[in-house]
């Protein structure tokens, strides 16, 4: 019995070691200049009042938020499957509203076509919106917030890779505090919405 257990354990360890030797690990750098987050009703946010004798009448430009990002991480692949883990920085830009974003992403892809160059899979991102600010005349503060964005992503390429995804971002409520004579029609805003990402990745 002991000999059988020893032989089974040894065989299992050899199989795991053999599979581990087939896995290739690489560093990756990702540049996402084409990120857009389309929110539900953010453009309805309005500020009014007065400041230094000037009338305040300000709002957001639209519901499309530009969020370019730069990330780095690593990839593990056996040829048919790719697993990627990334972390990086981004910026939220929508008219007078801006914020720094810390972003982490985990994804798994099945590389099934064009000589294992095309892959499709699932991924999830976490985003922390830090120090959101308003650059207009309205005297207002926004609270930090966190969100998650699960979605479907695709890859194409070997070393230089095109990446795209469609996600839905949830959990991003920001409380609003107005000061002095500024008045807001919202006490909080949500950045929840569809996020479309497209960019380039380099594997080294």
Q: Any idea which architecture 24-203 has in CATH?
A: Beta Barrel (2.40)
| pTM attached to this predicted model | 0.83
| Separation of alpha carbons 111 and 179, rounded Å | 53
Instruction: Report residue 169 as tokens.
Output: 């971002």
28-32, 43-47, 68-72: range with lowest mean pLDDT: 43-47
pLDDT tens digits, 137-159: 899 999 999 999 999 999 998 88
Nearest to 177 by CA among 167, 168, 186, 190: 186
What residue ranges do the domains of the chain occupy?
24-203
Mean of pLDDT values over 11-33: 71
Mean pLDDT of 64-89: 93
């Amino acid at each position: 019995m002991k000999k059988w257990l020893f032989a089974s354990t040894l065989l299992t360890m050899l199989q795991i070691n053999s599979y581990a030797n087939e896995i290739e690990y690489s560093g990756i750098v990702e540049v996402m200049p084409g990120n857009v987050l389309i929110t539900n009703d953010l453009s309805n946010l309005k500020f009014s009042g007065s400041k230094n004798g000037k009338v305040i009448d300000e709002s957001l430009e639209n519901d499309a938020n530009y969020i370019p990002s730069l990330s780095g991480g690593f990839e593990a692949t056996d040829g048919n499957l790719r697993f990627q883990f990334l972390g990086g920085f981004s910026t939220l830009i929508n008219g007078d509203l801006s914020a720094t974003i810390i972003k982490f992403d985990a994804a798994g892809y099945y590389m099934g076509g064009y000589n294992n160059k095309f892959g499709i899979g699932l991924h999830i991102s976490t985003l922390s919106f830090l120090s959101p600010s308003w650059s207009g005349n309205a005297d207002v503060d926004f609270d930090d917030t966190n969100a998650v964005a699960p979605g479907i992503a695709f890859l194409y390429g070997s070393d230089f890779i095109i990446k795209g995804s469609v996600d839905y971002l949830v959990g991003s409520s920001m409380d609003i505090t107005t000061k002095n004579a500024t008045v807001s029609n919202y006490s909080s805003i949500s950045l929840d919405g569809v996020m479309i990402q497209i960019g380039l990745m380099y594997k080294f």
